[in-house]
Structure 1
Amino acid sequence: MNNYNFATLNDEEFEEICKDLLREELGLDFRTYKKGRDKGIDLSYINGEKKIIGQVKHYPKSKFSDLKSTLKKELEKVREENFEKYILITSLDLTVNQIQEIMIVMNGVIKSEDDIYDLKKINTILQKKENEWIEKKYYKLWLSSTTVLNRIINNAQENNIEYYIDEIERKLKLYVVTENFNKALEILNKTNMLLIHGEPGAGKTVLAEMLIYRYLDKGYKLKFISGNKIKDLEEIMSNNKEEKEVIFIDDFLGSNFLEMFTQTSENKLVFFLKKYLNKECKKVILTTRTIIYNKAIQQSEILNRFSIEFEKYKLEVTSYNMIDKAKILYNHLYFNEIPKKYKKKIKDEMAYSKIVKHRNYTPRIIEFFTNVRRVLQIDPSMYINFIFKNLNNPSEIWKNEFENKISDEERFLIYTLFTFQGNIDKYILRNAFEDRYNYEIRNNNFTRIQNAFDKSLELLSKGFIRVIRGMNEKNIIISFINPSINDFLMNYLKNNIDEIKRIVCSVTYIEQLEVFKTNSVIRQSTYVNNEVKKLIKNRLIGGFKNIETYKVDKNIYILEMIILLYNNDSTMREFIKDILYSFIKNESIGSKQNLNLLIELLENKNIVLSDIEDLYKKEGIIQKGEKIILNKIQHIENFVKYTKMIKSMISYEDVLALFNKEYLAHTVDRLCEQAISDFCNEISFINECGFENKNNELYFDYNEAENLLECNFHRYKENIFFDYKEELSYFLLYERMKNSMETLFDLYYKENILEAMEDIWNEIHKANVTNKVIKVYQEYKGKSSSDRYNYKKYESEEEQIFNMFNRL
């Protein structure tokens, strides 16, 4: 018979169990209240005039005096509430005198001592046979059983592994039961062996340890090693073939797994695994990093043959869903005794939402920044910065793997993939890798390995790299398995100027230089020095004809690079003019993008206005450069950028001549019409124009659509003119342009836009959408009694996470 102390549960988990217990005990369907608005109420049941409320107090490390103090405060909250019964549930083990003290403190709010549920009473209810399902539902409840704990401790003492079990117990509180646990248990029960693989920091070892804990309770003895020291494991195994043992080999291929690849070693490993596969009394649990496993299978013929067997034992630990991520973070903050002032920062700034959504989230990083000793060394005001510094640069997770566990060819492939921002077509990646590899062979004395690309890709597959196959066999995308690898490399390269040079000199595609264009960390770092800039210039201009492109316009891309990296550099004037002339020839010079580039090149002093005049002379157009550009401008953004530039390049008299009244009138209308057109292209509120009638039928509300349209257009217009007020006022255009845009919108555009919105809305909402909550409720009504209690009122992920962290 199990007795529970609930020490492994956080407050939310304890509250959920109490809700299910009261449902079973009283036959009433209680619901929970959101924290922060509960008015002293955690649970409630309301049926007509009948109202029962409950307060749940989970105090695993507190004293009775703490409970009393809290109840005095709660009394003031609930005194004005109208209810038939008030129930108190606490995880403290209360004496008869303490229960009587509570009755006095609550001053008639609690009507009977029977309405106080303490540790003993909760355990009595849980021990009823009809409530066995609750223990199955809440795995961590089982882990908090004193009977289980004592059984495992005795087992540990007999096998001299108390220190190891202590470490597992520490992790129990932090553990969140995910679908991986149930999958792993199913594989282990069916096959007696489980291979857990995944990325560094994904939670492989913790999952293995939770499984071990379960088997220790069933009387299994733990035998474990780390790495591939099979001989050591055999020496500690029992001679009794019928003795129940759970065998745990953490990092089973070993951190120095290449040393294992002698025929003797691999035979020993495979022989050992096969020896225990068919023995019901032996359970084998293995963990390894995916990259190590893939390399071992490729390099070992024996393991390769055995890998077919491995398929039915494998479980890959991959990413967690948002709720599981939130629970992992919450448990670390709850159980690690983080001072309130630090948790308050996370709660008040809602940093938890950004943390669980962060692309580099792993349990290992969460463990790092919730370590209480580490936290106490940080000022509370800097705690959020500390968290995101580690999330944004998770270098320690990947550094050891990258430096010590892979070959040069594999590193070349990783660097090449990095230049494509970690995601690219396999064919393109192969071409770029081959050029990088040829460069290394020519310049750094590397010896070619046959099929280096395919071998490297296979070895890195899933460990660093993910291979995504489309429906078409030729459509294969290669990406990093985790975005944190890209971030790691970005920071790793900051201290490696030699590698930067090798990347620049060996690129195949112009897009590979994107990392220097879009990544401010790299671009602004000191190692993008004049020498590196010179290399990029030579690659862009000297190799212009042979550098390839697969998605961007080569000319535009090069101009963007020049603007970004070569301020006040006129040495490329003739090269730039050739590109601009091609724009003039194909009549693309007037596009918003190309005009921006042209203006920025002038601002950057890469070219001058007379260069524009020279180019148009070739086409028979003789006109001032400033006039030529102004005639091409269609967008307010271009116009403002241009006015800023032109004021510094020509005299005030020439500016007045350029912006004469007649010309400005024409320009204003042109710019305003384009701005309204741009607004139409950005409309995103059409779905908000629908409402339900009395028959629950959706319809397009024209008046609401008109209000939304006018409101959004006004906001759009104000944003434009707020940003550009100074420059437009210089030419006395601010009020004039605002009025012109309003007039054009009201007279010529609004009605047409509303008609188009209605057509689009009707197209989207042809079929009525069933109400989600009704559907969930109908599913709930069809469930059996115990299944119903697994039902949770529909809430969005955001709401669930908000309510969870509102408890901090």
Structure 2
Amino acid sequence: MRNFSVLSDLDFESVVSDLIAGEVGTHVERFARGADGGIDLRWRLPGGQLAIAQCKHYFKSSFSQLLASAKDEVSKVKKQAPGEYRFYTSFDLTVSQKQKIYELFSSWMSGPELVYGGRDIDGELTRNGEVERRHIKLWLSTGTELFWATNSELASRSSMLRTRLERTLNTYIEGDSYEESMKILDEHNVCLIAGVPGIGKSALAQMLVASYLALGYQPIEVSEDIKEAWAALDTKHSQIFFYDDFLGQISFSERMGKNEDSRLANFIDAVGGMKHKKLVMTTREYILRDARRDYRRLVDLGDDLHFILELDDYSRLDRAQILYSHLWHADVSVECLAELSDGGWKRIVDHSGYNPRLIEYCTGPSFDSSSKGYLDRFVDILTHPEELWRNAYERHLIDSQKALLLTLASMPVQASHPDLQAAYLSFCSESHLHANAASFRSSLEMLEMTFISIAKRGAEVMVSFHSPSVAEFILDQIREDPATLSSLIASVVFFEQLTALRNATGEDSSFSTSASSGVVRHMPINLFGDEFTEALMGTFESPSPVKILNQSGYVTGYEDPYGLFENRLEAVLGLEPELRPPNTWIESRLVFLADRWKNLQGEKSDAIRLYRKVSKLQKDRSISVSEEVLAEFHETLESWLSSSLEGTSDWSAFVDFNSFEDVDDIDDDIRDQFLDHALSELDAWDPSPPDLNDLVELAELFDVYPSIEESVAEAHQREEEHDAKQEDDSHATRYPRSRMSETGGDIDEMFNRFKASES
């Protein structure tokens, strides 16, 4: 009999639904548990009456438990009064057991043959092979079991591989990555799967191996050296070779002995030319990049053999099904499972730190899955997955590569290549590390796709952390090491590096985490007050590492963002008093900004906010600047705001600064000037000005709205027509999905099966 244990309850229902649909030739409806009233599946009989079926996936349970559950369904079925009722279970029923269930539902069954046990379903699948093939886990489980049964010698030699394959089959969810990697393997006979630790490389590779086992291929697992594969190569048999972590788990030096790269490359060439040979390899992407630099033949591994597995390859539905499948097969208490129903699952599935390895860990025997608070514990692991990265960081990366990551942690979320290089070289110099442009490029290449991501935006290359969990891990390294933090402060090239370090290491940091000791640790920037303050003053007028982007998101230049210096001074004034520069320096920055405003440079809304901050701190005696400087600061800002009223945002800033409370406070000339502006804006934009709502609010304040009301109505009409056309165009290119919805409704129904009230 087929191994139904690889199926979840949802999988089992889906198999039964397809079997019934194939038999009756009509659509079979499926329903969520809890709202079904005794219905899992429903369809129409030829006479028009409704038929319903119940599915009980009870492979873990005793018959007494199954019978008790069946008795609970009787009252529900009585209310439905179906024309036909069927009962399906994966339990292997005896004749007497089937009779007992039939007696419960005999009023709606023509005979005990409508009670389907595991062997009955097994027979139906044998007669309907296309149904089994649609359910990949069941098909692979059947195929691999048949292979092991008919190849006992191989089963004995490959017992560990067999165990891993069976475990993976239980929880694996087929997604696009499986199809794409299978296509590579089919076309080229070789597939190299690379990705970050824990992303699911080995599980995907094992599914590929299982797929070919089901086709009769003999598995050859390579554990130490490619010489094992050469020794096992047999031209008489179909074979699939599996080389997990072929470059080592920590470093390629573990495995890449003398001439190993040539032997591996030669084996790949050989397999690529053989019809019935397949090779599946996995590695961590950063190790592959490192090895390619030192081993010439590895460069020859073409990109057409290369499948990069990334978190983006998992859709929201994929993530939810992976989680559900692990929970279904795990020993998790019903109380803990209930915490994931009613939307609790979203905290895991939508978490930025979602990772298949962490899902496996949090549903495994080493994790507390029996006591209250399971969901919170689960989310904590996703939020702080430091151990996922620690091994690779501490044991594999060299100091210059670590330096690049430490530097990146002080930069904007996306740092430009030249800015990051400048900051990196400065940090290496301060840390007495030898570094140059070549080592910077080398480090980027090795870290890409694991610790960092590199993307081109227009003509500019931008660098960022591969995921939030990596960024957090690197920040933890900074928090826990005073020497590193001190060197970063002393080496900063950009003012924003200091604010990033302050935000990430202060005691009010939103990034604060629990270290391995279990105690929340901080590395307050206050410990380096003098160094920090000196760096602030030295970088205040530095260029900004934040790039100006156009509407397409591409870098358009290196100009400073609007409000750069206003925001920088506001950040300085927001620091603790012991970190602020002297009052004389603050005065000099006020003069510096006033000179810029005279030249119409800056961002008005930021300038107003800064002015109010300065005024408050002066009033509270938190800072002390001369009254002359403060008066000049005010007068310059007032003049700038009133003398450059060109756009609606200029008018909003003017009103904000003057705090008009009544229309009588506004000069008639100013009111007329605004009316001219409003009419001009409404006439110039199609379908409407981008800040139409602001324009209307200002018109009401200036008491000129009646003069523009008709034009505003026309603008709203054009907006509605424009939006309707865009919506029509959107629907015209939308394709229907055949899978479950990813919006949450169908997924909610899936996880609501875990409510404690359900058996």
Normalised to the residue count of structure 2, the TM-score between the two structures is 0.80
Matched residue, 1:362 = 355
Secondary structure of 2:53's counterpart equals: strand
Q: Is the 8 A contact 2:415 2:545 kept in 1?
A: no
Matched residue, 1:697 = none
Q: Is the 8 A contact 2:220 2:229 kept in 1?
A: no
Deviation at 1:479, TM superposition (A): 2.3
Matched residue, 1:256 = 251
Q: Deviations over 1:680-729 (max 9, x none)?
A: xxxxxxxxxxxxxxxxxxxxxxxxxxxxx9xx99xxx9xxxxxxxxxxxx
Give the alignment of 1:389-400 within 5 angstroms: 389-400=380-391
Greater Cα offset, 598-607 or 575-584 = 598-607
Matched residue, 1:383 = 374
Residues 1:314 and 2:306 are matched in the alignment: yes
Change (3 A) 1:435 1:146: closer
Q: Is the 8 A contact 1:89 1:116 kept in 2?
A: yes
Greater Cα offset, 152-161 or 756-765 = 152-161
* Separation in 2, partners of 1:637, 1:60: 72
Matched residue, 1:175 = 172
Matched residue, 2:124 = 125
Q: Is the 8 A contact 2:493 2:539 kept in 1?
A: no
1:762 is aligned, of 694, 703, 721, to 721
Deviation at 1:546, TM superposition (A): 5.1
Matched residue, 1:555 = 565
Q: What letter is aligned with 1:365?
A: L
Greater Cα offset, 46-55 or 392-401 = 46-55
Q: Deviations over 1:731-763 (max 9, x none)?
A: xxxxxxxxxx99989999999876654432222
Q: What letter is aligned with 2:360?
A: E
Q: Deviations over 1:334-371 (max 9, x none)?
A: 101211111111214x2311211212211011112111
Change (3 A) 1:150 1:580: same
Matched residue, 1:804 = 750
Identical-residue share of aligned pairs (%) = 25
Deviation at 1:772, TM superposition (A): 6.4
2:532 is aligned, of 529, 536, 546, to 536
Q: What letter is aligned with 1:203?
A: G
Q: Is the 8 A contact 1:508 1:548 kept in 2?
A: no
Change (3 A) 1:796 1:374: closer
Change (3 A) 1:256 1:477: closer
1:343 is aligned, of 337, 342, 349, to 337
Secondary structure of 2:728's counterpart equals: coil
Q: What letter is aligned with 1:456?
A: S
Change (3 A) 1:109 1:564: farther
1:299 is aligned, of 290, 294, 297, to 294
Q: What letter is aligned with 1:85?
A: E
Q: Is the 8 A contact 1:596 1:638 kept in 2?
A: no
Q: Is the 8 A contact 1:159 1:221 kept in 2?
A: no
Change (3 A) 1:745 1:162: farther
Greater Cα offset, 431-440 or 542-551 = 542-551
Matched residue, 1:24 = 22
Secondary structure of 2:348's counterpart equals: helix
Give the alignment of 1:6-17 within 5 angstroms: 6-17=4-15
Greater Cα offset, 151-160 or 167-176 = 151-160
Q: What letter is aligned with 1:531?
A: L
Secondary structure of 1:451's counterpart equals: helix
1:509 is aligned, of 473, 487, 494, to 494
Higher relative CO (Cα under 8 Å, sequence separation at least 6) belongs to 2
2:627 is aligned, of 592, 613, 633, to 613
Q: Is the 8 A contact 1:153 1:165 kept in 2?
A: no
Secondary structure of 2:308's counterpart equals: strand
Matched residue, 1:211 = 208
In structure 2, stretches of 5+ residues that fail to align are: 510-520, 548-560, 637-649, 668-673, 675-691, 755-759
In structure 1, stretches of 5+ residues that fail to align are: 623-631, 643-658, 671-676, 678-708, 718-740, 780-790
Change (3 A) 1:798 1:667: farther
Change (3 A) 1:500 1:217: same
Deviation at 1:268, TM superposition (A): 3.3
> CA RMSD of the aligned region, Å?
4.2
Matched residue, 1:682 = none
Give the alignment of 1:392-541 within 5 angstroms: 392-440=383-431, 444=432, 446-448=433-435, 451-470=438-457, 472=458, 474-519=459-504, 524=509, 526-541=522-537
Deviation at 1:545, TM superposition (A): 4.5
Deviation at 1:221, TM superposition (A): 3.6
Q: Is the 8 A contact 1:5 1:146 kept in 2?
A: no
Deviation at 1:174, TM superposition (A): 0.8
Residues 1:352 and 2:345 are matched in the alignment: yes
Q: What letter is aligned with 2:430?
A: Y
Q: What letter is aligned with 1:392?
A: T
* Separation in 2, partners of 1:59, 1:299: 55
Q: Deviations over 1:454-488 (max 9, x none)?
A: 22222222232222234x4x232222222321121
Give the alignment of 1:77-116 within 5 angstroms: 77-106=76-105, 108-116=107-115
Matched residue, 1:579 = 589
Deviation at 1:521, TM superposition (A): 6.4
Greater Cα offset, 119-128 or 19-28 = 119-128
Deviation at 1:175, TM superposition (A): 0.8
Deviation at 1:550, TM superposition (A): 4.5
Give the alignment of 1:232-247 within 5 angstroms: 233=228, 237-238=231-232, 240-247=234-241
* Separation in 2, partners of 1:462, 1:609: 47
Change (3 A) 1:153 1:251: farther
* Separation in 1, partners of 2:152, 2:488: 57
Aligned pair count? 689
Deviation at 1:154, TM superposition (A): 4.7
* Separation in 2, partners of 1:356, 1:487: 19
Deviation at 1:252, TM superposition (A): 0.7
Deviation at 1:635, TM superposition (A): 9.1
* Separation in 2, partners of 1:766, 1:633: 32
Matched residue, 1:699 = none
Give the alignment of 1:679-694 within 5 angstroms: none
Q: Is the 8 A contact 1:185 1:211 kept in 2?
A: yes
2:280 is aligned, of 282, 285, 288, to 285
Secondary structure of 2:409's counterpart equals: helix
Normalised to the residue count of structure 1, the TM-score between the two structures is 0.75
Q: Is the 8 A contact 2:407 2:427 kept in 1?
A: yes
Secondary structure of 2:340's counterpart equals: helix
* Separation in 1, partners of 2:702, 2:544: 49
Change (3 A) 1:243 1:147: closer
